[in-house]
Amino acid sequence: MLPPSCASLSSLYALGAQWAFLTVPFPPRYCKRVYDSDESMRPTIFHLLLRLYLRPRPDYPLLFEPALSLLSTQAARIDPVEAFDLLPPLVALGDLQIYLEKTLRRQTERSTESRMVKAIGRALLDQQDVELVDLEERRVKITDGRM
């Protein structure tokens, strides 16, 4: 049985053998709870579970179906490069279709958002330049009455 909270990677690795046989949704829920509560674990918690599924200890079976399920449901939280490093060599592209679609969509959204932020920043700078030019072009005639 897993402890109620497990904050360190070393204790999570120690529990790996117990997790390897859990095909019920408990490990992903546990990882989501850790992901939501501990910012230091965010980059690694789902990757660690994926590693437990795809690279189990020598005496334990490979859990390919739970790994694919994890990839499809938690695609935004798993680095694609690290995920591909863990996958067995001859994985069918159809098995990864949902994960790949979500990953490509996320990367496209990030790229589009970055371009939009850059364009808005450029537009603000252009607007400030126009306002500055307008202010510099104003001419004021100073007469004895204005002094």
Q: Is residue 145 part of a domain?
A: no
Q: Is residue 90 part of a domain?
A: yes
Rounded alpha-carbon distances, angstroms, from residue 21 to 24, 98, 101, 140, 141: 9, 24, 28, 83, 86
For 37-72, what is each residue's pLDDT tens digit? 777 766 777 788 888 888 877 887 777 788 888 888
Q: Is residue 146 part of a domain?
A: no
Q: Is residue 54 part of a domain?
A: yes
> In whole numbers, what is the pLDDT of the chain averaged over residues?
76
For 67-118, what is each residue's pLDDT tens digit? 888 888 887 778 888 888 888 887 788 888 888 888 888 889 999 999 999 9
**What band does 22 get if pLDDT is binned at 50, 70 and 90?**
very low
Q: Is residue 144 part of a domain?
A: no
Full 3-state SS string of 72-113: HHCHHHCCHHHHHHHCCCCCCHHHHHHHHHHHHHHHHHHHHH
Domain that holds residue 32: 9-137
Taking 80 as the threshold, does the pLDDT of residue 141 lie above it? no
Q: Is residue 79 part of a domain?
A: yes
Residue 19 near residue 52 (C-beta atoms within 8 A): yes
pLDDT value at position 117?
Answer: 95
Q: Is residue 147 part of a domain?
A: no
pLDDT value at position 102?
Answer: 87
The secondary structure of residue 74, as a DSSP letter, is S
pLDDT value at position 23?
Answer: 47
> How many domains would you assign to the chain?
1
**What band does 146 get if pLDDT is binned at 50, 70 and 90?**
low
Place of tokens 């904050």: 7
pLDDT value at position 124?
Answer: 95
Instruction: Supply 94's token pair.
Output: 């159809």
Residue 5 near residue 45 (C-beta atoms within 8 A): no
Q: Is residue 132 part of a domain?
A: yes
